[in-house]
Amino acid sequence: MTKSSLDVDLLVIGWGKAGKTLAKRYAATGKSVALVERDPAMYGGTCINVACVPTKDLVVSAEARRPDDDPQTYFTESVAGRDDLIGKLNAANHAMLDGQATLFDGEARFTGPKEVTVRTADGDVVVTAQTIVVGTGAIPTRPDIPGIDLPGVYDSTTIQHADPFPHRLAVIGGGFIGLEFASMFAQFGSEVTLLDAGPALLPHAEPIVAETVTDVLTRRGITVRNNAEIRGIEQSGDGLRAQLADDGIDVDAVLLAVGRTPVTADIGLDVAGIDTDAKGFVRVDNRLRTSVEGVFAVGDINGGPQFTYISLDDNRIVWDQLVGDGTRTTTDRVAVPNTTFITPPLSQVGLTPAQAQQAGHDVLYAAKPVAKIATMPRPKIVGDAEGVITFTVDADTRKVLGATLFCIDSQELVNLVALAIRAGVTADELLNGIWTHPSSTEALNEVLAELKPYGS
C-alpha cells in the first residue's frame, strides 16, 4: 500500500456537529483543514444519521398512524421516508465541506501527540496538524448480558431498520432513549414492555412528573416493569425470551437502551498522551483542552451532556481558543434545556424544587395537569391534552429557577423558559405576558398564578 503525508492547520477526527462546524468556519478563513470520517454513512455526525433527526422523523410517523394501519406495512413505509430524508441530509453535509477541506474516508489513529495516521482504501496518510479536534462520538453500550448477539436483539441504531416489525418488543432501559423508543413503537403498534432497573421511572424528576409520565405510557399500552434484573436473552420458539431474575418475557425483539459508550478505545489516545477517564471519556478542562497542548475533544467523547446543541457550543468554545480571546468556557452554560421525545414530549430546564432547596433557595412551586389548564386550549385542539407543567421559582426574587413541561410543543416552550432563566426574568413577567392564541405558551398565564411555598 502507498503511504503519503499531509500537514494542515487543523485536523478534525469525526464528522459531528462541533467538528464539521469548526472545519467549515476555519477553512473559510483561509486555513488548511482536513477532516476524517471512518464511515460515509455518518457524514454529518450521529445526530442527523442515526439519532436525533431520524428517530424524531419516526416518532412523527408513529404519531400519525391510524388504528387500522397495518403495523408492518406502515413501519416499512415510515422507514423508507426516514431513509430518504437522512440520505439527503448526509449528502448535503458532505457537499458542505467538499472542496473546502481535505476529506478522508478512513480510520484515524494517533501515532504521536500531533500526528495521526489515516488508513484509507488508497493507502495510509500521515497527517500532522497544529491543532487537532477529536470528535469521534459515542455508540450504543453493549452490556454484558448473555444472548445479546442473537438475531432480533437491537440497539438504538439498528432497531430503526427492524425487520420484521416487532409485534412484541422488550425495551431494556428506562432512560430517555428507552422511553422514546418504547413510546414510538407502541404507537407503531407494538406490544411494548419497558424493563427498568430502578424502582421507578425518572428518578430525578418531581414525583408528579414521574407519576404522570408513567401513567400516560401505561394507558397507551406500555407495560412498565421496575426493579427488572435482566439475566439474559435466549431463543424461544420463533422469538426471544428476556430472562429476568424471577420470570421471563416472550417477545419478538429486544432493544438494548442502557447508555452510550465513547468511541475512544482504538484511536491511539494513549500513544498521543491524551488522558481518558475510567469509562473512556477524554478528560478536558473547561475550555475543552485535553492533556496534550493543541488537542481538543468535542461532542459526546468529552464526558459532557450528550446533546447535539452542546456539541455546537463546544464548537464555539474551541473557535474562541483558535481565533478569539479564549475566555469562553463550559461554565458559561446556564439553564441548558433538554427534551425526551415521548408523546407528548417531556422537557426540562433548570432546577427542580428539591434541587433549588438544596441550593439554598426559598422555593415557590406550581404544578398543574395540562387537561385542567383553561387558558391553554391548543392541546385540546390537536387532540393531546396529556401531561403536566411545573415551575420552580425563588420566593424572594420571584426569578424562575426551573420548569418541567410534559405537554405538546414543550420542545419549543422550554427554550422560552430557558431564556427567561438566563435573563433573570421573574415569574410575574411570564405570568402577565401577552401570548398568541391558541398557543401552548398561554399555559404561563395560568400555571404561574398558582405558585405556593414548596411543600405546603
Give the residue numbers annotated as catalytic, written as ranges: 437
Phi, psi of 93 (to 5 degrees): -70, -35
- Runs of H (alpha helix) within 65-111: 71-97
Tell me how far apart the alpha carbons of residues 358 and 361 are, in angstroms, rounded to a whole number: 7
Tell me how far apart the alpha carbons of residues 436 and 370 are, in angstroms, rounded to a whole number: 18
- 164 cis-preceded (ω within 30 degrees of 0): yes
* 54 exposure class (CB count in 10 Å sphere: 0-12, 13-18, 19+): buried
DSSP 101: B
Task: Report helix, strand or coil for 325.
Answer: coil
Q: What share of the chain is helix, strand, coil (3-state, %, to 5)?
A: 35, 30, 35
Q: Tell me the CA distances in angstroms from 390 to 67, 207, 359, 401, one per residue in order.
A: 32, 11, 19, 11
Tell me how far apart the alpha carbons of residues 225 and 200 are, in angstroms, rounded to a whole number: 9
The residue count for the chain: 456
Residues near 144 by Cβ (< 8 Å), separated by ≥ 6? none
